[in-house]
Structure 1
């Protein structure tokens, strides 16, 4: 944001030490330096301009007038008015935010005109007194924090509940709100009808602050959420080894709503991990099984997206290595939880309650504090070691991978003409299947990701074909293996058998 300008007004000689002290403090404080810069006449280089004109120009330009009133009145002009008095008058006339600090408790020893200026200030605002620089700094800090809170430049409540600066209702997607209502009604019996107006839905979900969209509203339904919160994106990387190393074989940065982010990140992982294909002894459809259950991958990723610290500049990172899946988010545990307690029955303590409620209503998460224990149970059932959790510079979840059993066919990401994603698609394609059926067979949610990584490459390679090629967008469209695709699968089967 553009810094707010503070103009320090005083008799320079009398307050020489305080002026420098205040500037140094404001420039060094980790919070205040993010919002304010300071004007001191002492810092102005020599220039061909009258000093009084420069003073008043800076008063007009400032956001906050900071007056230090002491014993001295200052050099008077032809009309008997000092620079400090003129600056105060100009700030009052311009409607500037004024902070007045008077040094000392006894005004009887002050210049008569300074006494008059203090009385004038008393009639217009609340001023504070100080004796030492330390007292002045403490009082100024309190005043500036109050200023920031009143103007909603810093938050006093949860991040997801505060309004998103510069965002308006026009930045939210009505289509995404409508889609949410449909999904929430099917999943949890959401009470509002499908035709409910977006403003009614947002109000029901407590996603408005004085009729302005909150951060949660933008993250859930924004047209471009990363325009307002750039670090809300999710970064996904796949490494062939067990350490981070360049070049990265596959790297994606996903943007969109939290629903989009979860779907895309989960699909990224599912497209890279091993898919085990069983025999067709019990039916025409060969059973398929991912090495890491999709529910485990989804739970780890949705936890990272839902419970991260959105005020942080860091982004959620999903990294798949040869031996593990590692998910990092810039967040921490609530005070009531420890890493040990995560593995035991515990209540749900969401870091972003307004953000997690719609995720619950669409069955992306539960809100009973069972997610971690579900991950542990599912990993055990899949023959994996229990997930590992740690706190470093954020929260880290690690899911260990196991090598594929020798007795089963396994698809891995392959190089060359046919990618691992296309091969997985061919393995689940039986007869004529719709796009939705193919996605469900592969446990994938993101339609665009499925089209780009699976469907289109398979079509271009002539391994599958449309049942209605003249109407590619037909709602009745289905897909089936081509003779080339059948031959490819037979060769794959033969290669797997010969490799046993």
Structure 2
């Protein structure tokens, strides 16, 4: 007898036995003999029954998922001496791992020739795919030490139960107690982020500031929406006795486009959702393109096929999604009072929602005064107009943009040196 990729000897029962059995179950199976020297010399034991019970307890208490169904323990006689034989078949819930270490490299082992080695993160990821399939939401998360402080607070605020039994029903936890990738999205340790960048012009040359939001996907969406709201200028006017407020971007369109991006993106990509704020539009870039088989025409007609149905179901329960398949249509409806309409651009691995800025009217009483001021100030900086109108930087930026689009002024220079010249 000698050791091989499918045969291993151990002089005595120690914790190292667990590593060997895990490695067999994660690779191609094999037989482990206890009370046999590495060179094949039979040592033998006095009480095989006691050792069999100890091995059984060791496997039950120290290894996850349950490996006993893939092992067969028996006492055997070799050269007139008693030994214990543990036969291990290739497991169906790989990767098997030490319960104390979790599903990470330090707790997962594979067989390499006659040696046992720690599995790499890529080894572990591949085993999860082979065992769970390629459905991102239902696959076991590579990271299992998750917390849900942010998500639990929001569920409580919305009066939606979030106990372990609800998490299991929603698909955040598997039947055998593992967190899924869906669970990781809602956890405080979510690895995906939303990135926002704001530019002073209509291209990416003049960068102003950036924000990146992390944590639970719920927290990210809320924080990103708050950032968009802060950059969504409003103006008011009176029509008769009625006060009419107008936003640069319909709040509904911002909210719906953002929730759509988070709901339907492909989370198997590590890239972030990107939000670009230009002077004349907002672009929300979601990773993954359209679900295979659907066209842009299909989704505009209201055909709904979510890439992440379990995520969509949770957001539906939270009332973040009102009804399936109506999002894009409602975004367009929110622009029905505007001259510019939102539109979508689809790439092989990206979906871009473009929301044009609605030009906010300058209050009537200011029109004549502004026209006179422009006649007297043929070239000016934005700060000059801020001082004259006694309005905020954001409001003046909108007024300048309207003057630019109307052809009343032209931009001269870029960056801090930007000035504006009255068009003659």
- TM-score of the pair, normalised by structure 1: 0.48
CA contact 2:221–2:262 (8 Å) conserved in 1: yes
**2:172 corresponds to which of 182, 207, 211:** 207
Structure with bigger helix share is 1
Structure with bigger strand share is 2
* Shift in Å, 1:182: 4.7
CA contact 1:234–1:316 (8 Å) conserved in 2: yes
**1:152 corresponds to which of 125, 128, 133:** 128
**1:306 corresponds to which of 247, 253, 263:** 263
- How many residues end up aligned between the 2 structures? 275
* Shift in Å, 1:419: 5.8
Cα distance in 1 between the residues matched to 2:6 and 2:308: 46
Deviations 1:202-238 (A, max 9, x none): 1232321121222222322x2332xxx2xx1000011
Report the CA distance shift for 1:303/1:312 in structure 2 as closer, same or farther (over 3 A).
same
* Shift in Å, 1:295: 0.6
Whether 1:288 aligns to 2:253 is no
In structure 1, list runs of 5 or more residues that go unmatched: 1-80, 101-122, 127-146, 186-193, 424-500
Whether 1:167 aligns to 2:127 is no
* Shift in Å, 1:288: 2.5
**2:223 corresponds to which of 239, 264, 278:** 264
* Shift in Å, 1:294: 0.6
Cα distance in 2 between the residues matched to 1:89 and 1:216: 36
The answer for the alignment partner of 1:370 in structure 2 is: 326
* Shift in Å, 1:258: 1.9
* Shift in Å, 1:383: 3.7
**1:381 corresponds to which of 337, 340, 363:** 337
In structure 2, list runs of 5 or more residues that go unmatched: 11-19, 30-86, 91-122, 368-381, 397-424
Cα distance in 1 between the residues matched to 2:253 and 2:283: 12
* Shift in Å, 1:362: 1.6
Matches within 5 A, 1:199-348: 199-209=164-174, 210-220=176-186, 222-225=187-190, 229=191, 232-246=192-206, 248-279=207-238, 282=241, 286-346=243-303, 348=304
Report the CA distance shift for 1:337/1:252 in structure 2 as closer, same or farther (over 3 A).
same
SS in 2 for 1:164: coil
Report the CA distance shift for 1:418/1:265 in structure 2 as closer, same or farther (over 3 A).
farther
- Compute the RMSD of aligned alpha carbons: 3.6
Report the CA distance shift for 1:216/1:125 in structure 2 as closer, same or farther (over 3 A).
closer
- TM-score of the pair, normalised by structure 2: 0.56
CA contact 1:291–1:382 (8 Å) conserved in 2: no
Matches within 5 A, 1:413-452: none
CA contact 2:290–2:346 (8 Å) conserved in 1: no
Matches within 5 A, 1:66-145: 86-88=3-5, 91=8, 94-95=20-21, 96-97=23-24
* Shift in Å, 1:309: 1.1
Moved over 6 A (4+): 123-126, 147-150, 413-418
Deviations 1:43-93 (A, max 9, x none): xxxxxxxxxxxxxxxxxxxxxxxxxxxxxxxxxxxxxx9xxx655477565
Cα distance in 1 between the residues matched to 2:348 and 2:128: 31
Whether 1:401 aligns to 2:378 is no
